[in-house]
Structure 1
Amino acid sequence: MVVSTRSKDTLNRAFVFDDKENENKENMKDKEQHKQDEEEKEKKQEKKKIKEKTKEKTRKAAKDQHELGHEVRHRSSHLQDNTNKLKIHETTSTRNRPVKKQIKTRKRNIVIAVIILIAVIILIAVIVVCLLPSIFLRSTADDDTGGTLRKYTGLNLGELKSTFPTQTPYLWRLIGSASIDFFKHDDPKRPSVILLAAGPDAHSTLDALASDLSTSYTSGDLVTKIDGSEYNMSDADIAKYEIDKTLDSGFNSGKKVAVIHHLESIPAKASMIFHSYCETDNAPFKKVVIIFTVHVTDELNPKDNLKTNEKIVEKHLIQKWKDSVDKDHIDAMFSRVATAVAFVTP
């Protein structure tokens, strides 16, 4: 079969077209492949970056964990050291605590022992000071001449004892003992205070003995005399003022002895003035002798217990004064004037 020229051209063009089409297809495939290769490459690079970032994070996390572990170990070690030091300190303190406690206890015991020893010494000294004059006077009270008593007290009781022979040895001992400070010290710490009391059967003897006793210390014109019965119906304030003025004027003028008769007859509030004059440490006049007399209505037996008779005297004063002054004030005043109480017999 014979093919015409046109047909050949047509065929050739067809082949050319097919070739181009095939070429285009190949090019498209190449482009597509290239694109896929690029995308694949980009994915690989992306994965690589992600992997590198992951590794970097892992390394950083490992580093941080390492540093944290080191810090924890360091702090644990420091804490352990402190704990060990504390344990050592506590152990040492625990060991030393009994020793310190023993030392403290010993010191406290020593202090207590010293205080007790000082207290005992002071007590013994007080007892000796209080009892020595009485013991001595008891041994000399029966001396009728009164010479030994005068030697140690400065008071001549020989004439008084002759005038009042029925009085008990205790009365003379008490008067002598209460007079020691007045005669033996130029600046005594307290005035010498004597309270003489008697029952109804010895009132006259009481007044006479108190008057004669006052002149045993000094001459009669140097004795201040106060009769409490004169103030029995007086206003308390006026009586207190006059008694205070009389005592103050007498002592300031050089008189060394005061006799207050009938203490129980002085109004209660006025009698409180004697609290200051008989004060142990703060009395305005100390180189003086103050003698009180109390006329009680009950019988006093000198042979009775001393405290029993003192209670009778105190009860008598409370009965007289209770309506004007409370008992506490009476007790306070009585404790000053009753430092030496003697009972006079008929």
Structure 2
Amino acid sequence: MTSAVFPSSLAEGDRIINHYPEKKLEQKVNIRKPPTRSFLHGAGTCIKYLILVLVPLIVASGAVLYLSPESVHNLVGQITFADKPQVKKDLKDDFEKLSSVFTDQSPLMWNRSRRILERHLENWKANTEPAIILLAGAQDAEQTLLCLGTQLADIYSSSLSGNYTVISGSDWVSGSNEQVKEYIDHRLSEGFQATTQAAVLHRLEQLPAGSLLILYKYCDHESAVFKDVMLLLTVLLDDPTLPKDIPPLDLEEKVRAFLIQKLIETNAKASHDGMDRDKFSGVWSRISHIVLPVYPEKESLEQCKNQMKA
């Protein structure tokens, strides 16, 4: 049986034998046209791009197979935290300089505050909660309280090449719970998403009671929205002075009782504005990890005022 011979050109197509007599001779057998030049060009381009993508991946995969686990970990860390700033983890010099100015503070204050800040910086990007310090002072330490608080916030934020912000309760004595809560939320959220690394909430006892509920959002030990930041809180007690040898637990209880009396017992509207003893207990458990005493300074106040103005 003789095999069919296909025409070598489209001109010869008119002489194609019709193997289907029942069909009209005008119907020609469909012949698949060879790929056009544009199609071949597009396919070639796709193959080139595919090679450009696959070759580096194959090379990288092969390289990873020969890397040690430690090298792989370092490589992943560099890729994951490409935007990580230079973190200063040793605060010894900063605290020595600060303690040489604030000479009347207790060793307890210096040791515990330095320890928590260094530990937090050491675990930067792996912290499960923010660094929270509560400073409490008597009436004779009113100016030192803010002064020292801002200096600690500055040490932490500078270690991350950032800045700090201050929210003062004295500015919101007549504010409503919702108004102040929204303001604090906005300031903290906007700042922490930018370059703010630390926030000072000064004079908690002057804030509207219900506004403190925002601290659930920022101070929770499991679900705080920002974990690699510092929150420094201050409370000015009614006591004229604090004993130099006050035990830490006694100070903690004193501050707790003072805030309950100030925010709840003397505030008849507190229970109607969202704050009660149970809710305050929840707030307190989140902010009272470290409660430290602040004593008055005689020599450093003028210098501190100048630093805060700068």
TM over 0.5: yes
Q: Deviations over 1:116-161 (max 9, x none)?
A: xxxxxxxxxxxxxxxxxxxxxxxxxxxxxxxxxx975577201110
Equivalent residue letter for 1:194: I
Percentage of identical aligned residues: 31
Partner of 1:288: 229
Residue 170, structure 1, aligned to residue 93, structure 2: no
- Distance verdict in 2 for CA 1:302–1:335, change over 3 Å: farther
Radius of gyration: which is bigger? Answer: 1
Number of the residue aligned with 1:309: 251
* Letter aligned with residue 190 of structure 2: S
Q: What SS is found at the alignment partner of 1:256?
A: strand
**Other-structure match for 2:279:** 329
Instruction: Please state how far the C-alpha of 1:239 moved relative to its aligned partner.
Output: 0.7
Give 1:208's aligned residue. 147
1:260-307 C-alpha deviation (Å, 9 max, x unpaired) = 111111111001101220110111000101001100102322302221
Distance 1:272 1:302 in 2: 32
Matches of 2:183 and 2:225 in 1, distance apart? 17
Q: Which residue of 2 aligns with 1:86?
A: none
Q: CA deviation at 1:337?
A: 0.9
| Whole-angstrom CA distance in 2 between matches of 1:208 and 1:221 | 19
The amino acid of 1:175's aligned partner reads S
Q: Is the contact between residue 191 and residue 285 of structure 1 (CA under 8 Å) also seen in structure 2?
A: yes
The structure whose RCO (Cα within 8 Å, separation 6+) is larger is: 2
Q: Secondary structure at the match of 2:179?
A: helix
CA contact under 8 A between 1:200 and 1:295: conserved in structure 2? yes
What RMSD in Å do the two structures reach over aligned CA positions? 1.8
Inter-partner Cα distance in structure 2 for 1:332 and 1:151: 31
Q: Which amino acid aligns with 1:338?
A: S
SS in 2 for 1:260: strand
> Matches of residues 86-101 of structure 1 in structure 2 within 5 Å?
none
Segments of structure 2 that go 5 or more residues without pairing to the other structure are 1-87, 297-310
**Which residue pairs with 2:178 in the alignment?**
237
**Kindly tell me: are residues 260 and 155 of structure 1, through their superposed partners in 2, closer, same or farther at Cα, counting changes over 3 Å?**
farther
2:136 aligned with 1:197, yes or no? yes
* SS of 1:313 mapped into structure 2: helix
Give the partner amino acid of 1:162. Answer: S
| Distance (Å, rounded) in 1 between the aligned partners of 2:206 and 2:245 | 27
Task: Note the alpha carbon deviations across 1:4-49, whole angstroms, 9 max, x for none.
Answer: xxxxxxxxxxxxxxxxxxxxxxxxxxxxxxxxxxxxxxxxxxxxxx
Aligned CA distance change for structure 1 residues 336 and 293 (closer, same or farther; 3 Å): same
- What is the TM-score when the length of structure 1 is the normalising length? 0.54
Question: Could you say if the C-alpha distance between residues 338 and 155 of structure 1 is closer, same or farther in structure 2, counting changes exceeding 3 Å?
Answer: farther
Moved over 3 A (4+): 150-155
CA shift, 1:167, in A, is 0.5
| Aligned counterpart, 1:31 | none
Distance 1:336 1:284 in 2: 14
Over 3 Å counting, the alpha-carbon distance change for 1:155 and 1:334 in structure 2 is farther
Task: Please say if 1:253 is aligned against 2:194.
Answer: yes
Q: Which runs of 5+ in 1 are unaligned?
A: 1-149
Rounded to whole Å, the distance in 1 between the matches of 2:92 and 2:191 is 23
Give the Å deviation of 1:340.
0.7
